[in-house]
Chain A
Amino acid sequence: ETGVTQTPRHLVMGMTNKKSLKCEQHLGHNAMYWYKQSAKKPLELMFVYNFKEQTENNSVPSRFSPECPNSSHLFLHLHTLQPEDSALYLCASSQENTQYFGPGTRLTVL
């Protein structure tokens, strides 16, 4: 599905770097989500924004900092990450019920 785009698709970063993941949805939805998918684990909800307001923060460490400037864009700012943060980070959007996912950013922390 091309309604939700994510950049970059792949990212390798050191533990001292600062980087940002970007998500954009072209579906006119009001809610946007960040998920983390680690190997051998279910998708974990990180954050939800509805009409730019954060409605869910699933006890995510402060080294992950979300930003939602408008209903179409969602960022995840990363700093001083750990190797165990290496995972596929997925963005989704929804209007009421059905969530639509982007292709993900595969993050490797060295």
Chain B
Amino acid sequence: GIQVEQSPPDLILQEGANSTLRCNFSDSVNNLQWFHQNPWGQLINLFYIPSGTKQNGRLSATTVATERYSLLYISSSQTTDSGVYFCAVVTGGFKTIFGAGTRLFVKA
């Protein structure tokens, strides 16, 4: 089946720094989402982005479907950005596969 790999697995930033998280996938996908999981376990939608670029405040995402990767940019990081960032892809139908996540800690 399709493989989803995220990098880096762990990331520590000083508040105010910028970062780029990467998601590689091994086959064509119909759908790609980025999520943030807060320390209490709640998964929050960040982007639905099967292709192209989107921005929402300090966050932006780019997916290059032909090269099978997606990037999540976090600018001017804040302590509240801490948590785990997941990308998830959907292949045929509703079959959803999550990557292992990038665990981010932002220091004050």
- Chain B interface, DSSP helix/strand/loop, else mixed: strand
Complex: chain B residue closest to A103, CB-CB = B42
Can you list 14 A-B pairs, Cβ within 8 angstroms, ordered by A?
A: A1-B44, A31-B94, A33-B96, A41-B100, A43-B86, A48-B95, A55-B94, A90-B41, A90-B43, A97-B50, A98-B45, A99-B88, A103-B41, A103-B42
Tally A residues with Cβ within 8 Å of B: 26
Q: Does A21 contact B (CB under 8 A)?
A: no
B residues whose Cβ falls under 8 Å from a Cβ of A: 4, 31, 33, 35, 40-45, 48, 50, 86, 88, 90, 93-101
Q: Are A56 and B93 in contact, CB atoms less than 8 angstroms apart?
A: yes
Docked Cα-Cα span, A92 to B100, in Å, equals: 18
Q: Are A55 and B100 in contact, CB atoms less than 8 angstroms apart?
A: no
Docked Cα-Cα span, A101 to B96, in Å, equals: 13
- Residues of chain B lying within 8 A (CB to CB) of residue A94: 94
Q: Does A75 contact B (CB under 8 A)?
A: no
Docked Cα-Cα span, A51 to B94, in Å, equals: 12
- Residues of chain B lying within 8 A (CB to CB) of residue A56: 93-95
Q: Are A98 and B94 in contact, CB atoms less than 8 angstroms apart?
A: no
